[in-house]
Structure 1
Amino acid sequence: MVKQLDYHTINEIFSRFEAAEAEPKGELEHVNAFTLVVAVALSAQATDAGVNKATRELFKIADTPQKMLDLGEEGVTEHIKTIGLFRQKAKNVIKLSRILVDEYGGEVPASRAALQSLPGVGRKTANVVLNMWFKYPAQAVDTHIFRVGNRTGIAVGKNVDVVERAIEDHIPAHFQQHAHHWLILHGRYTCVARKPKCAACLIRDLCQFEDKNL
């Protein structure tokens, strides 16, 4: 059973991540806070690449809540129909755009509670926006982070909320801003689900994964 790693080991892990890529970036394309909210909301049960392909043309004509409302639900649907659950997502995009116009003057609020009140926006989406746009050290735990956290011992927990708290509690403060991006990228490209690329891993000597593929 994987145990939670100690502070010094985690500090070394993130020092290596930082040395390899000092400023990790999210892969969802956006031009402002609003398009980031929409992109992250659309990414549920979809790949970032698939969302980017669908939103490139959408964001050229609708990069504000009002422009999205002007486009209308049918227009949004047409742009995002290659994404899973596109009909419900189109409804949510229009609903959240209306709320942003009516209640927030067309601006995206820098509040987790306010963000989570928007249709189609959960805690993970809110945390991504808070982190990427407002530079708040929020931790958005997706399937990659949940897997990496538990497999390595960086952040051990039975559900995403526990893993989120484990990240906040155990990762040194000076790494918190970029922590979730380092973990996502590590899970997406190295510590993959079925056959992790342990031989190419920066932290293989510190990781607690028993079935290391060397």
Structure 2
Amino acid sequence: MIFRRRRLPPDLHDALRAADRRDAWQRLRDRLRPPWWLRWGAALGLAGLAVAIGWQAGLIRPVAPIPRVVHGIPEGTPAPLARFTARVGVVDGDTLSVGHERLRIHGIDAPEMAQPCERAGRPYACGDAARDAMAGILGRGVVTCAQLDTDQYRRRIVRCHDEAGRDIGAELVRQGWALAFTRFSTDYLRQEAEARAARRGLWEGRFDPPWDWRARSRN
């Protein structure tokens, strides 16, 4: 090969020598180049070192995932721990409002606003009376509630306590202006029995259970 190159034209001879040098340099680089797994390992190690340094320096902080919110309560929050304090309004005897949102009181059923009852032989608006009784229990309207569920109307089902720590649902039943809603809960049967025995509120006269009155009104 050397003999043949000496007989070549000078330009071609120089080009071949340059190509040989490039090939030799490439072979040397290939020998010195580390394997792929070593290169990846080094890159990962450097990345981990950078993260550790950034963490120690306070430059990197974990980003908390943004929870999806359903009716004002983050999804996945255990119901008994989904607590909040708010100033509420009274919609009716068993429903409160926070802005445009409705809160349905757990375990009780109060007369509907259009529902008539009878007392001393005369009809009266027992829905209005139940609403007024709930407003009296709330006072300034500040309550602390725990969400227990969400109903078919997308209202939060809540158990709430007033500023004195009273369970407002239990108190309304005790005063006789709501019934224990045993279809869903038996929590307030004792308060209902007390109100009936003392003939307080609704028990002073005649009335239909709210669930029966609603059923007839739909027909």
Q: Same fold (TM over 0.5)?
A: no
- The TM tier, using the shorter chain, reads under 0.3
Name the TM-score, length of structure 2 as normaliser.
0.21
User: Which one has a bigger Cα radius of gyration?
Assistant: 2
Name the TM-score, length of structure 1 as normaliser.
0.21
Would you tell me which structure has more helix in proportion to its own residues? 1
Would you tell me which structure has more strand in proportion to its own residues? 2
